[in-house]
Structure 1
Protein backbone atom coordinates (compact mmCIF):
# COMPACT_ATOMS: atom_id res chain seq x y z
CA UNK A 1 0.00 0.00 0.00
CA UNK A 2 2.84 2.39 0.75
CA UNK A 3 3.97 2.20 -2.88
CA UNK A 4 0.51 3.47 -3.87
CA UNK A 5 0.50 6.42 -1.46
CA UNK A 6 3.29 6.97 1.06
CA UNK A 7 1.04 8.27 3.83
CA UNK A 8 0.98 6.16 6.98
CA UNK A 9 -2.54 7.25 7.97
CA UNK A 10 -3.89 6.33 4.53
CA UNK A 11 -2.16 2.95 4.57
CA UNK A 12 -3.58 2.22 8.03
CA UNK A 13 -7.09 3.33 7.04
CA UNK A 14 -7.12 1.28 3.83
CA UNK A 15 -5.77 -1.77 5.67
CA UNK A 16 -8.36 -1.36 8.44
CA UNK A 17 -11.20 -1.54 5.92
CA UNK A 18 -10.40 -5.13 4.96
CA UNK A 19 -11.84 -7.44 3.91
CA UNK A 20 -13.41 -5.72 0.94
CA UNK A 21 -16.30 -7.24 -0.99
CA UNK A 22 -14.51 -6.58 -4.26
CA UNK A 23 -12.01 -4.35 -6.03
CA UNK A 24 -14.56 -1.55 -6.52
CA UNK A 25 -15.23 -1.36 -2.78
CA UNK A 26 -11.51 -1.32 -1.99
CA UNK A 27 -10.93 1.51 -4.48
CA UNK A 28 -13.91 3.49 -3.15
CA UNK A 29 -12.65 3.20 0.44
CA UNK A 30 -9.10 4.08 -0.60
CA UNK A 31 -10.35 7.07 -2.57
CA UNK A 32 -12.36 8.45 0.35
CA UNK A 33 -9.40 7.88 2.65
CA UNK A 34 -7.13 9.95 0.38
CA UNK A 35 -9.38 13.00 0.15
CA UNK A 36 -8.11 14.79 3.25
CA UNK A 37 -4.37 14.85 3.80
CA UNK A 38 -2.60 17.04 6.33
CA UNK A 39 0.16 19.36 5.15
CA UNK A 40 2.75 16.97 6.62
CA UNK A 41 1.16 13.96 4.89
CA UNK A 42 1.10 15.81 1.58
CA UNK A 43 4.73 16.86 1.94
CA UNK A 44 5.79 13.31 2.79
CA UNK A 45 3.88 11.81 -0.12
CA UNK A 46 5.35 14.31 -2.58
CA UNK A 47 8.91 13.36 -1.62
CA UNK A 48 8.21 9.97 -3.22
CA UNK A 49 7.38 11.48 -6.62
CA UNK A 50 10.06 12.66 -9.07
CA UNK A 51 9.53 15.83 -11.05
CA UNK A 52 7.33 15.27 -14.07
CA UNK A 53 9.57 14.56 -17.04
CA UNK A 54 12.35 13.29 -14.76
CA UNK A 55 11.75 9.59 -14.17
CA UNK A 56 13.16 8.20 -10.95
CA UNK A 57 16.38 6.23 -11.21
CA UNK A 58 15.69 4.36 -7.96
CA UNK A 59 15.14 0.63 -8.07
CA UNK A 60 11.95 0.09 -6.07
CA UNK A 61 8.23 -0.39 -6.67
CA UNK A 62 7.44 3.33 -6.46
CA UNK A 63 10.15 4.18 -8.98
CA UNK A 64 8.83 1.51 -11.35
CA UNK A 65 5.34 3.01 -11.00
CA UNK A 66 6.69 6.50 -11.77
CA UNK A 67 8.65 5.36 -14.82
CA UNK A 68 5.61 3.56 -16.22
CA UNK A 69 3.25 6.43 -15.45
CA UNK A 70 5.51 9.03 -17.04
CA UNK A 71 6.41 6.98 -20.11
CA UNK A 72 3.99 8.92 -22.32
CA UNK A 73 5.50 12.22 -21.18
CA UNK A 74 9.00 11.49 -22.49
CA UNK A 75 9.23 13.34 -25.75
CA UNK A 76 11.34 15.82 -27.68
CA UNK A 77 13.91 18.05 -26.01
CA UNK A 78 11.81 21.19 -26.47
CA UNK A 79 8.88 19.83 -24.46
CA UNK A 80 11.17 18.42 -21.76
CA UNK A 81 12.97 21.77 -21.53
CA UNK A 82 9.64 23.58 -21.14
CA UNK A 83 8.58 21.09 -18.44
CA UNK A 84 11.85 21.66 -16.57
CA UNK A 85 11.37 25.42 -16.68
CA UNK A 86 7.75 25.04 -15.60
CA UNK A 87 8.73 22.73 -12.74
CA UNK A 88 11.22 25.30 -11.44
CA UNK A 89 8.66 28.13 -11.62
CA UNK A 90 6.02 25.96 -9.93
CA UNK A 91 8.37 24.90 -7.13
CA UNK A 92 9.43 28.51 -6.61
CA UNK A 93 5.80 29.62 -6.28
CA UNK A 94 4.34 26.73 -4.26
CA UNK A 95 7.38 25.22 -2.52
CA UNK A 96 6.58 21.70 -3.67
CA UNK A 97 6.94 19.49 -6.73
CA UNK A 98 4.31 19.78 -9.47
CA UNK A 99 2.26 16.58 -9.40
CA UNK A 100 -0.09 15.33 -12.06
CA UNK A 101 -1.48 11.94 -13.02
CA UNK A 102 0.64 11.41 -16.12
CA UNK A 103 -0.98 8.16 -17.31
CA UNK A 104 -2.71 8.81 -20.62
CA UNK A 105 -1.33 12.34 -20.99
CA UNK A 106 1.17 13.66 -23.49
CA UNK A 107 3.96 16.06 -22.56
CA UNK A 108 1.92 18.83 -24.18
CA UNK A 109 -1.12 17.99 -22.00
CA UNK A 110 1.03 18.00 -18.87
CA UNK A 111 2.66 21.28 -19.84
CA UNK A 112 -0.73 22.85 -20.50
CA UNK A 113 -1.95 21.76 -17.06
CA UNK A 114 1.23 23.02 -15.41
CA UNK A 115 0.75 26.42 -17.04
CA UNK A 116 -2.89 26.53 -15.99
CA UNK A 117 -2.26 25.44 -12.43
CA UNK A 118 0.64 27.80 -11.79
CA UNK A 119 -1.88 30.65 -11.79
CA UNK A 120 -3.81 29.03 -8.91
CA UNK A 121 -3.67 30.43 -5.40
CA UNK A 122 -2.05 28.16 -2.82
CA UNK A 123 -5.29 26.71 -1.41
CA UNK A 124 -6.68 25.89 -4.85
CA UNK A 125 -3.41 24.33 -5.95
CA UNK A 126 -3.08 22.32 -2.75
CA UNK A 127 -6.53 20.85 -3.41
CA UNK A 128 -5.56 20.03 -7.01
CA UNK A 129 -2.33 18.40 -5.84
CA UNK A 130 -4.22 16.23 -3.34
CA UNK A 131 -6.72 15.26 -6.06
CA UNK A 132 -3.87 14.26 -8.41
CA UNK A 133 -2.14 12.30 -5.65
CA UNK A 134 -5.43 10.50 -5.00
CA UNK A 135 -5.79 9.62 -8.71
CA UNK A 136 -2.24 8.27 -8.82
CA UNK A 137 -2.81 6.23 -5.65
CA UNK A 138 -6.01 4.71 -7.04
CA UNK A 139 -4.35 3.81 -10.35
CA UNK A 140 -1.52 2.12 -8.48
CA UNK A 141 -3.89 0.30 -6.15
CA UNK A 142 -6.02 -0.81 -9.08
CA UNK A 143 -2.92 -2.29 -10.67
CA UNK A 144 -1.92 -4.01 -7.44
CA UNK A 145 -5.40 -5.51 -7.02
CA UNK A 146 -5.72 -6.66 -10.61
CA UNK A 147 -5.19 -10.40 -10.89
CA UNK A 148 -4.24 -10.23 -14.57
CA UNK A 149 -0.58 -9.56 -15.39
CA UNK A 150 -1.53 -7.71 -18.60
CA UNK A 151 -3.41 -5.03 -16.64
CA UNK A 152 -0.35 -4.34 -14.52
CA UNK A 153 1.75 -3.91 -17.66
CA UNK A 154 -0.81 -1.49 -19.10
CA UNK A 155 -0.58 0.81 -16.10
CA UNK A 156 -3.60 -0.46 -14.23
CA UNK A 157 -6.21 1.23 -16.38
CA UNK A 158 -9.29 -0.54 -15.13
Structure 2
Protein backbone atom coordinates (compact mmCIF):
# COMPACT_ATOMS: atom_id res chain seq x y z
CA UNK A 1 0.00 0.00 0.00
CA UNK A 2 1.40 3.38 -0.95
CA UNK A 3 1.68 6.24 1.51
CA UNK A 4 -0.96 8.05 -0.58
CA UNK A 5 -3.37 5.10 -0.18
CA UNK A 6 -2.55 4.82 3.53
CA UNK A 7 -3.29 8.52 4.00
CA UNK A 8 -6.52 8.24 1.99
CA UNK A 9 -7.70 5.25 4.00
CA UNK A 10 -6.80 6.99 7.27
CA UNK A 11 -8.75 10.06 6.13
CA UNK A 12 -11.77 7.87 5.27
CA UNK A 13 -11.54 5.96 8.57
CA UNK A 14 -11.35 9.17 10.62
CA UNK A 15 -14.02 11.14 8.71
CA UNK A 16 -17.17 11.93 10.64
CA UNK A 17 -20.10 9.64 9.90
CA UNK A 18 -21.92 12.05 7.57
CA UNK A 19 -18.80 12.75 5.51
CA UNK A 20 -17.93 9.06 5.25
CA UNK A 21 -21.53 8.21 4.30
CA UNK A 22 -21.45 10.90 1.60
CA UNK A 23 -18.18 9.49 0.23
CA UNK A 24 -19.62 5.99 0.16
CA UNK A 25 -22.83 7.20 -1.48
CA UNK A 26 -20.65 8.55 -4.31
CA UNK A 27 -19.36 4.99 -4.74
CA UNK A 28 -22.75 3.24 -4.52
CA UNK A 29 -26.21 4.73 -4.08
CA UNK A 30 -27.64 1.79 -2.11
CA UNK A 31 -28.36 2.99 1.43
CA UNK A 32 -28.09 -0.58 2.73
CA UNK A 33 -24.63 -0.97 1.14
CA UNK A 34 -23.47 2.42 2.48
CA UNK A 35 -24.61 1.58 6.01
CA UNK A 36 -23.03 -1.89 5.93
CA UNK A 37 -19.65 -0.56 4.77
CA UNK A 38 -19.81 2.40 7.14
CA UNK A 39 -20.56 0.14 10.11
CA UNK A 40 -17.29 -1.79 9.74
CA UNK A 41 -14.96 1.22 9.98
CA UNK A 42 -12.13 1.58 10.72
CA UNK A 43 -10.46 -0.57 8.07
CA UNK A 44 -6.96 -1.93 8.58
CA UNK A 45 -6.18 -1.74 4.88
CA UNK A 46 -7.75 -1.31 1.46
CA UNK A 47 -8.28 -5.06 1.06
CA UNK A 48 -10.42 -5.12 4.22
CA UNK A 49 -12.51 -2.25 2.82
CA UNK A 50 -12.95 -4.09 -0.49
CA UNK A 51 -13.93 -7.31 1.28
CA UNK A 52 -16.53 -5.42 3.34
CA UNK A 53 -17.89 -3.94 0.11
CA UNK A 54 -18.11 -7.39 -1.49
CA UNK A 55 -19.88 -8.81 1.57
CA UNK A 56 -22.37 -5.93 1.63
CA UNK A 57 -23.03 -6.37 -2.10
CA UNK A 58 -23.77 -10.09 -1.66
CA UNK A 59 -26.43 -9.24 0.93
CA UNK A 60 -28.35 -6.67 -1.12
CA UNK A 61 -31.96 -7.57 -1.83
CA UNK A 62 -33.47 -6.87 -5.25
CA UNK A 63 -34.83 -3.51 -4.06
CA UNK A 64 -31.38 -2.49 -2.79
CA UNK A 65 -29.80 -3.49 -6.11
CA UNK A 66 -32.38 -1.31 -7.83
CA UNK A 67 -31.38 1.62 -5.63
CA UNK A 68 -27.72 1.02 -6.47
CA UNK A 69 -28.43 0.82 -10.21
CA UNK A 70 -30.41 4.05 -10.11
CA UNK A 71 -27.14 5.87 -9.44
CA UNK A 72 -25.67 4.81 -12.78
CA UNK A 73 -26.32 6.56 -16.09
CA UNK A 74 -26.95 4.55 -19.24
CA UNK A 75 -23.86 3.38 -21.13
CA UNK A 76 -23.00 5.96 -23.76
CA UNK A 77 -24.62 8.78 -21.80
CA UNK A 78 -22.50 9.61 -18.74
CA UNK A 79 -23.94 12.13 -16.30
CA UNK A 80 -22.95 15.67 -17.31
CA UNK A 81 -20.39 17.03 -14.88
CA UNK A 82 -19.72 13.61 -13.33
CA UNK A 83 -16.05 12.78 -13.85
CA UNK A 84 -16.49 9.23 -12.49
CA UNK A 85 -19.09 8.18 -15.06
CA UNK A 86 -17.20 9.94 -17.86
CA UNK A 87 -13.95 8.21 -16.83
CA UNK A 88 -15.65 4.82 -16.48
CA UNK A 89 -17.33 5.11 -19.87
CA UNK A 90 -14.31 6.50 -21.70
CA UNK A 91 -14.44 3.52 -24.06
CA UNK A 92 -17.40 5.23 -25.73
CA UNK A 93 -15.53 8.51 -26.26
CA UNK A 94 -14.37 7.69 -29.78
CA UNK A 95 -17.35 5.54 -30.74
CA UNK A 96 -18.96 6.06 -34.11
CA UNK A 97 -22.44 7.52 -34.35
CA UNK A 98 -23.63 4.11 -35.58
CA UNK A 99 -22.22 2.37 -32.49
CA UNK A 100 -23.76 5.01 -30.22
CA UNK A 101 -27.13 4.52 -31.93
CA UNK A 102 -26.85 0.72 -31.58
CA UNK A 103 -26.04 1.01 -27.91
CA UNK A 104 -28.92 3.44 -27.34
CA UNK A 105 -31.31 0.99 -28.99
CA UNK A 106 -29.95 -1.89 -26.91
CA UNK A 107 -30.13 0.22 -23.73
CA UNK A 108 -33.80 0.96 -24.39
CA UNK A 109 -34.63 -2.67 -25.21
CA UNK A 110 -32.76 -3.83 -22.11
CA UNK A 111 -34.56 -1.29 -19.93
CA UNK A 112 -37.93 -2.40 -21.33
CA UNK A 113 -37.08 -6.02 -20.59
CA UNK A 114 -35.53 -5.66 -17.13
CA UNK A 115 -36.87 -2.33 -15.83
CA UNK A 116 -33.46 -0.75 -15.22
CA UNK A 117 -30.42 0.52 -17.08
CA UNK A 118 -27.98 -1.91 -18.66
CA UNK A 119 -25.21 -1.97 -16.08
CA UNK A 120 -21.70 -3.11 -16.82
CA UNK A 121 -18.32 -2.30 -15.33
CA UNK A 122 -17.25 -0.26 -18.36
CA UNK A 123 -13.76 0.57 -17.14
CA UNK A 124 -11.29 -0.61 -19.76
CA UNK A 125 -13.97 -1.79 -22.21
CA UNK A 126 -14.40 -0.54 -25.76
CA UNK A 127 -17.75 0.58 -27.08
CA UNK A 128 -17.93 -2.59 -29.13
CA UNK A 129 -17.35 -4.76 -26.06
CA UNK A 130 -20.12 -2.94 -24.18
CA UNK A 131 -22.50 -3.32 -27.14
CA UNK A 132 -21.68 -7.02 -27.45
CA UNK A 133 -22.27 -7.55 -23.73
CA UNK A 134 -25.65 -5.82 -23.95
CA UNK A 135 -26.59 -8.02 -26.91
CA UNK A 136 -25.54 -11.16 -25.06
CA UNK A 137 -27.25 -10.28 -21.80
CA UNK A 138 -30.63 -9.17 -23.15
CA UNK A 139 -31.66 -12.82 -23.47
CA UNK A 140 -31.00 -13.59 -19.80
CA UNK A 141 -33.72 -14.33 -17.29
CA UNK A 142 -34.43 -11.70 -14.64
CA UNK A 143 -32.69 -13.86 -12.01
CA UNK A 144 -29.59 -14.40 -14.17
CA UNK A 145 -29.37 -10.72 -14.93
CA UNK A 146 -29.81 -9.70 -11.30
CA UNK A 147 -26.75 -11.77 -10.34
CA UNK A 148 -24.70 -10.45 -13.26
CA UNK A 149 -25.61 -6.90 -12.23
CA UNK A 150 -24.63 -7.68 -8.63
CA UNK A 151 -21.20 -8.76 -9.90
CA UNK A 152 -20.82 -5.72 -12.15
CA UNK A 153 -21.78 -3.36 -9.31
CA UNK A 154 -19.24 -5.11 -7.10
CA UNK A 155 -16.49 -4.49 -9.67
CA UNK A 156 -17.50 -0.84 -10.02
CA UNK A 157 -17.55 -0.38 -6.24
CA UNK A 158 -14.07 -1.92 -5.92
CA UNK A 159 -12.67 0.46 -8.54
CA UNK A 160 -14.34 3.47 -6.95
CA UNK A 161 -13.29 2.52 -3.40
CA UNK A 162 -9.71 1.96 -4.49
CA UNK A 163 -9.75 5.37 -6.12
CA UNK A 164 -11.39 6.92 -3.04
CA UNK A 165 -8.61 5.85 -0.72
CA UNK A 166 -5.88 6.61 -3.30
CA UNK A 167 -6.91 10.19 -4.06
CA UNK A 168 -4.73 12.70 -2.29
CA UNK A 169 -6.26 15.40 -0.13
CA UNK A 170 -7.58 18.18 -2.34
CA UNK A 171 -7.02 16.17 -5.55
CA UNK A 172 -10.38 16.17 -7.39
CA UNK A 173 -9.45 13.43 -9.89
TM-score, scaled relative to structure 1: 0.87
What is residue 101 of structure 1 aligned with on the other side? 121
State how far apart, in whole Å, the 2-side matches of 1:82 and 1:29 are.
37
Instruction: Supply the distance in 1 between the matched residues of 2:164 and 2:56 (Cα, whole angstroms).
Output: 17
Given candidates 31, 55, 63, the residue that maps to 1:32 is 55
Correspondence list, 1:1-158, <5 A: 1-57=24-80, 59=81, 63-74=82-93, 75-147=95-167, 153=173
Higher relative contact order (CA 8 A, sep 6+): 2
Superposed displacement of residue 81, structure 1: 0.7
Q: CA deviation at 1:43?
A: 1.6
Q: Structure 2 stretches of 5 or more lacking a match? A: 1-23
Structure 1 unaligned runs (5+)? 154-158
With normalisation by structure 2, the TM-score equals 0.80
Q: How many residues align?
A: 148
What is the rounded CA distance, in whole Å, between the counterparts of 2:63 and 2:83 in structure 1? 24
Give 3-state SS (helix, strand or coil) of 2:66's partner. helix
Cα RMSD for the two superposed structures: 1.8
Report the Cα distance in structure 2 between the residues aligned to 1:79 and 1:54, rounded to whole angstroms. Answer: 13
